[in-house]
Structures are given as C-alpha cells and as structure tokens.
Amino acid sequence: MRNKAIQILLCGMPGCGKSVVGKTLAQLLSYPFIDLDEVIERRDPRSCRDMALKEGEEFFRQAEAEAWKEICDCKGVIALGGGTLHYCEVKGTYIVYLEGDFKTSYQRRCRSKGIPSYLNQKDPYLSYCQVAERRLPLFKERSDVTVCVDGKSPQEIAKEIYTWTFMSCCNT
C-alpha cells in the first residue's frame, strides 16, 4: 500500500480529533499530513475563528473553498474542516468520518481554539448540536467508513483506519 499514492480525508465535527488522528495516521503510513485549517491560515494570517468573526461565515467558506482547491489533488492524509464536505465539492480516495460524542468534541474544540464563531454565543453548545444535526447525514453519506473515536487514543484510531485502508487497498 505504501507505494500506491492515495488520499485519505478525515471528516467530522470540530473537536473530534481530525488533526491529532491525521498526524498520527500520516506517520503510521509514512504519508504527508495536511490540515485544511492550517492551509487557510497560511493564506490569511488570521486564525479561522478570527476570519469568520470579523468577515463573516460566507467569507470564511470562500477561503475554505480556495484552500481546498489548492490541496485537493495532494496525496496523503488530509484533515478537512468541520464544514468542508458541506460547503465544498470534495472527492478523495477514501473519506473517513470520525464520529464522536458531541459534548466531548465540543469541549475539546472550545479548549483548543475557543467557541466556534458560527455558533450562537448565548447557547453555543445547543448551537453546536444543531450544526451537527445538519452535518451528520452528509458525513455518513459521503464517507467510506465511520470510525467511533470515543474512549480511544489517537494511536488506536489511526491503527483502526490504517487496517481498514490496508484491507480496502488489498480488495480493490
């Protein structure tokens, strides 16, 4: 499998572990790792959160679409933004949905990067759940496999994806 250039896209709600699992999986596969949020922030010196707060969600989604176009043909492991599947035309060799408990993902996201700008600031957790309800059907529909992340380390999740990917490559 290591000689066959593939693209593994990780999708899921903010805070589900796409970046941490992505880095771990890329190391396991000896593949490059790309975080779409980092590509967006490389193109504009502000954080994704600041961009969306100051310029609005439409501006941010346009920046996300442009960043996706820049990397869409890259091979390796790519951590998509939480809304990328919803707002961009995405195709990849494999799309993996990292499914996790909403409350845990929300708390992780807020600890690492603050409350997402697109959430209602009066009740951000309720707003997060509403966003999740809109995105989940698309995550499930578009992904090739769903991996539950609850109670697992990034290494365990990466090994699970690696095993699934290896089996998929061998069966094609």
Does a structural domain hold residue 1? no
Range of the domain at 120: 7-170
DSSP reduced 3-state for 35: strand
Which CATH number does the domain housing residue 130 bear? 3.40.50.300
pLDDT at 171 over 80: no
> For residue 15, which of 126, 112, 141, 93 has the smallest C-alpha distance?
112
Does a structural domain hold residue 137? yes
**How high is the pLDDT of residue 111?**
78
With residue 146 as reference, give the H or E element that holds it: strand 145-148
**How high is the pLDDT of residue 1?**
43
Report whether 38 contacts 113 (CB < 8 A).
no
Does a structural domain hold residue 30? yes
Does a structural domain hold residue 39? yes
For residue range 84-101, what is the model confidence (pLDDT) as tens digits?
988 888 876 899 999 999
DSSP reduced 3-state for 133: helix
- Number of domains composing the chain: 1
